[in-house]
Amino acid sequence: MSGSPVPDVSVVIPVYNGSTSIVSVVERVLSVFADTVVQIVLVNDGSTDNSEQVCESLAAAHPKQIVFVQLARNFGEHNAVMCGLHHTTGRNVAVMDDDAQNPPEELPAMLRHLADHRLDVVYGRYVERKHSWWRRAGSYLNDRMAIIMLRKPADLYLSSFKVMSRFLVDRITEYRGPFPYIDGLIFRATSRIDQIDVRHDQRHTGASGYTFRKLVSLWLNMFLGFSILPLRLSVLLGFFVSALSLIGLIAVVIDKLWINPTVTVGIPTILIALTFFSGVQLIVLGTIGEYVGRVFLSLSGKPLYVTRYVCSEGARDE
């Protein structure tokens, strides 16, 4: 958007199989910010429907306001959001979903709260969540782990619907690794964090792009990418098992010598002990292996995302 006024707000929308809802979402965003300069960044994250054509048509219809980025394949929501953040130029940046469950009409109140309290991020806390039960269960597990791993306040809901300051976006986009976790990057950069209650609408078309596999992947990104706590837990587990085995050995010796000399200490006991310690070793080695593997993938150049082309101000750059 060179030569254009700096947008008051940029809205990043990752798109995955959202062809039936994205037009409505974009129109509502444009309506909400009709009296201000707004930039909308659509990032198509390897959709298998006709989202690419729909988004390209939207960019052609609103060349001064919409930037469309087509990724080469599916990289995941957080990678797509990172891509969108790199293309934003607004003084403040909002992130929302493509399924029309995040009402754009809530954005002005979130932005006012951001400015009035000099915050870096304001999360939208859903008054009544319309997600499926398994999605809520996955989010609950993710929330509990964030309290431990990121030291997140227990009452703070890490929603994908959020607004951020330019300062924070610039800090987040300094990340170059292949395993982004947006909320982890936020907590690394700032403590000026708050939330306000927002509406959460019912999904009317399509199905959620979140699968159990993606929820697990997101959880691992937080668990292994933003803390060395798992390694410390492995050390503590090793000490605990060593102490437990020492106590067990002492108990067996005492039992054999003074309590029940006729007791047989044989192969079953040894097999159980070997199985137990082998399991502990695999846990510890697996944790270390995950860290080593992620370092290897980062050093080998695994990309954060790959852009096929960008549509901006009516031009398509390949």
| Domain range 9-226+303-317, its CATH number among 3.90.550.10, 1.20.140.90, 3.50.90.10, 3.40.50.10860 | 3.90.550.10
Confidence bin at 97 (pLDDT 50/70/90) = very high
* Most confident listed range (144-158, 197-211, 255-269): 144-158
Nearest residue to 224 via CA among 278, 143, 170, 286: 286
Whether pLDDT at 123 is above 90: yes
Extract the tokens encoding 129.
């969540």
Q: What is the pLDDT of residues 194-210, one digit of tens each?
A: 999 999 998 766 666 66
Choice among 19-28, 63-72, 139-148 with the minimum mean pLDDT: 139-148
Return d(Cα 316, Cα 179) in angstroms, integer: 28
Helix 77-86 × helix 182-189 angle, to 10°: 50
Q: Where are the domains of the chain?
A: 9-226+303-317, 229-299
Phi, psi of 301 (to 5 degrees): 90, 20
Q: What is the pLDDT of residues 217-248, one digit of tens each?
A: 666 676 666 666 677 677 777 777 777 777 77
Choice among 37-41, 72-76, 179-183 with the minimum mean pLDDT: 179-183
pLDDT of the residue at 278: 75
What pTM did the predictor assign?
0.80
**Residue 203: which region, alpha, beta or left (left: phi > 0; alpha: psi -120 to 50)?**
beta
Choice among 70-79, 138-147, 282-291 with the minimum mean pLDDT: 138-147
> Does residue 140 or residue 188 have the better pLDDT?
188
Which residues make beta-bridge pairs with 175? none
Whether pLDDT at 1 is above 60: no
pLDDT of the residue at 258: 82
pLDDT of the residue at 143: 77
Cβ burial of 233 (10 Å; 0-12, 13-18, 19+) is middle
pLDDT of the residue at 132: 61
Extract the tokens encoding 48.
């298998």
Percent share of the chain, pLDDT over 70: 82
pLDDT of the residue at 130: 66
> Does residue 173 or residue 154 have the better pLDDT?
173
pLDDT of the residue at 21: 95
Return d(Cα 58, Cα 52) in angstroms, integer: 10
pLDDT of the residue at 279: 72
pLDDT of the residue at 52: 97
